[in-house]
Structure 1
Amino acid sequence: MKKNKHRAFLKWAGGKYGLIEQICQQLPDGRKLVEPFVGAGSVFLNTQYDRYLLNDINPDLINLYNHVKQKSDFYISESRKLFTSANNSPERYYAIRDEFNQTSDTFLRSLLFLYLNRHGYNGLCRYNLSGGFNVPFGQYKAPYFPEPELEFFAEKAQKAKFTCGSFVDTFRRVRKGDVVYCDPPYAPISLTANFTQYAKTGFSLDDQLLLAKLAKHNAFKKQATVLISNHDTSFTRDIYSRSNITKLMVSRSISQKGDKRLKVGEVLALYVPFRE
């Protein structure tokens, strides 16, 4: 990894920029990195592989990445036009959010997605049950237009293939010698306290179990290396029992205002290639 860390051009809840050093220490050399849950792409941006397979279940995210990859100069010039003081108001934000929710034009959606990400509350990406983006206005003084980050992403994206699908489908494409990094929706710290909210993410406890099973299978049978990030709980330590576990303490916001932070335990579960 280069000494200079590269930030993603999107703000992203649970982004891995702050843990890049610890994650990269666990990732071995290889020709291809596979990410079934790419999110904002901090691990992609801060590793040096010949090829990348980057997947996410969110079609707006993958659509955005493909447009940045294929027409970066035009994308940057067009998206920059949205970052004006006149557009930084609740009235304009909600009008643009409505436009995003009503259009099916993929390029326009990619432009508006970046605007919403930078002007919306806390950079959240959230949709209602009807599929409408519903993050409220963020009330920032002057939202940052991430031009250098976009340029770096666009250049590096030439080595990447972006796909939109399930993590199961992505694991089917893993081959011998591949390196896989998984940053799934985290398991709840307390199952009883957080289960209702947790279930709304669409990533169930059964999904957590299936991911652990696929990680073990791909390491032991396909001879790939798989690394998973998650909360440090008795549940995750149990389902990752066949891995090498590294424990971390990570600073996390614990209030809506974002002004209260505490250290939360996380694990990096590493599955290395060997046969049972």
Structure 2
Amino acid sequence: MTVKTPLKWVGSKSKVMTELKKFLPAGQRLVEPFGGSCAVMMATDYPAYLVADINSDLINMYQQIQQHENAFIALAAKLFAQNASEQDYYALRDDFNNNPGMTLLYRAAAFLYLNRHAWRGVCRYNQNGGFNVPYEKIAKPYFPVDEIRDFATKAKRATFICADFADTLSMVQPGDVIYSDSPYDGTFSQYHTSGFARAEHEALADQLNQLVGKGFPVVVSNSDTEFNRKAYHDFTLSHITTSRSVTVAAGEGKKGAEIIATSNPKYWIGFDPAAGDESTVVQEVLS
């Protein structure tokens, strides 16, 4: 099962959803503090979604598709048609980085254009906040109109916010399932200006463990490292193998070991359907 999304994305779960879905429990809402390409949202069927990311360009694009589907498609299609060369790419990238008057809709369409024409779909920013991925020569860059329309339909169930993981996880409520797919320990992590270092990994693991202690179901994807095995030692750890594309020569394949950590909460928190959505049920999980 390969899930198609509007973006090319390093670390996307689009190719592993058949395995990943086996670990995601039912719930009223899926909370993703690291939204990425939204492959998980597109491949699952929760009643509602809270999708967050620290990358404001990413969240803006999702919001613009959600709110202005047809206008976004028309503008993005025009950018793809009128900017076909390497010189065009760098001119638009320069405008994207240096034009404070750019409208949110235009910026969203430009972000999609840059993503689809950038080297391997990498999303990377320099310390000044400028998108700095080089051009990749592609015979015919793909314009994902079908994927955009599918996304707009699914986005009707979603709330998209630009926030860090700590703020996002503070918003969880009874009935939520939390899925964490942060930048991986020991791999490329410069998806945004601030990066994601060991201190962030430690803070994330601590907050997720606290939520497990409160009874929330938590699922974590990350690299199979000593740090992660210790950080999530109270979780059930499963292993999968996935392909890597960054730092690998074109046409070559490279496999990476990943863990899927699933929580083992003592309590299950949910809703009492007979009492309405405002009534919380806390039940002890039988071992």
Q: TM-score, normalised by structure 1?
A: 0.90
Which of the residues 255, 258, 262 maps onto 2:250?
A: 258
Per the TM alignment, residue 202 of structure 1 is displaced from its structure 2 partner at its CA by 1.8
User: Could you tell me which residue of structure 1 aligns to residue 48 of structure 2?
Assistant: 51
Mapped contact 2:55–2:192 kept (Cα < 8 A): no
| Structure 1 residue 235 corresponds to structure 2 residue 227 | yes
| Structure 1 residue 34 corresponds to structure 2 residue 26 | no
CA-to-aligned-CA distance 1:130-163 (integer Å, 9 cap, x gap): 1111111111111000000000000110100000
Question: Structure 2: how far apart are the matches of 1:198 and 1:65?
Answer: 17
Question: Structure 1: how far apart are the matches of 2:142 and 2:246?
Answer: 25
Mapped contact 1:228–1:269 kept (Cα < 8 A): yes
Mapped contact 1:6–1:149 kept (Cα < 8 A): no
User: Could you tell me which residue of structure 1 aligns to residue 203 of structure 2?
Assistant: 210
Question: Structure 1: how far apart are the matches of 2:95 and 2:59?
Answer: 19
Instruction: Look up the equivalent residue of 2:201 and give its one-letter code.
Output: Q
Per the TM alignment, residue 256 of structure 1 is displaced from its structure 2 partner at its CA by 4.5
Mapped contact 2:29–2:177 kept (Cα < 8 A): yes
Q: How does 1:16-165 map to 2 (within 5 A)?
A: 16-84=13-81, 86-104=82-100, 105-165=103-163
Question: Structure 1: how far apart are the matches of 2:247 and 2:202?
Answer: 29
Which of the residues 152, 171, 174 maps onto 1:173?
A: 171
Mapped contact 1:56–1:62 kept (Cα < 8 A): yes
Question: Structure 1: how far apart are the matches of 2:74 and 2:111?
Answer: 15
Question: Structure 1: how far apart are the matches of 2:252 and 2:242?
Answer: 14
Question: Structure 2: how far apart are the matches of 1:153 and 1:42?
Answer: 10
Any stretches of 5+ residues in structure 1 without a counterpart? Answer: none
Moved beyond 3 Å, runs of 4+: 197-201, 253-256
Mapped contact 2:126–2:193 kept (Cα < 8 A): no
Question: Structure 1: how far apart are the matches of 2:249 and 2:256?
Answer: 18
Instruction: Look up the equivalent residue of 1:208 and give its one-letter code.
Output: H
CA-to-aligned-CA distance 1:11-65 (integer Å, 9 cap, x gap): 0001001110111100011110000000010000000011100000000000110
Per the TM alignment, residue 5 of structure 1 is displaced from its structure 2 partner at its CA by 5.2
In the comparison of the two structures, how many residue pairs are matched? 266
Question: Structure 2: how far apart are the matches of 1:131 and 1:54?
Answer: 22
Q: CA RMSD in A?
A: 2.1
Mapped contact 1:220–1:272 kept (Cα < 8 A): no
Residues 207-216 or 106-115, more deviating? 207-216
The 3 A distance-change label for structure 1 pair 106 and 254 is closer
Mapped contact 2:212–2:263 kept (Cα < 8 A): yes
Question: Structure 1: how far apart are the matches of 2:32 and 2:89?
Answer: 32
User: Could you tell me which residue of structure 1 aligns to residue 260 of structure 2?
Assistant: 268
Instruction: Look up the equivalent residue of 1:269 and give its one-letter code.
Output: A
Paired residue secondary structure (1:207): helix
Question: Structure 1: how far apart are the matches of 2:105 and 2:79?
Answer: 14
Per the TM alignment, residue 262 of structure 1 is displaced from its structure 2 partner at its CA by 2.4
Paired residue secondary structure (1:18): coil
Q: TM-score, normalised by structure 2?
A: 0.87
Any stretches of 5+ residues in structure 2 without a counterpart? Answer: 268-283
User: Could you tell me which residue of structure 1 aligns to residue 213 of structure 2?
Assistant: 220
Question: Structure 2: how far apart are the matches of 1:239 and 1:152?
Answer: 37
Question: Structure 2: how far apart are the matches of 1:227 and 1:148?
Answer: 30
Per the TM alignment, residue 199 of structure 1 is displaced from its structure 2 partner at its CA by 12
Instruction: Look up the equivalent residue of 2:169 and give its one-letter code.
Output: F
Identity of aligned residues (%): 40
More helix by share: 1
The 3 A distance-change label for structure 1 pair 247 and 150 is same
Per the TM alignment, residue 177 of structure 1 is displaced from its structure 2 partner at its CA by 2.4
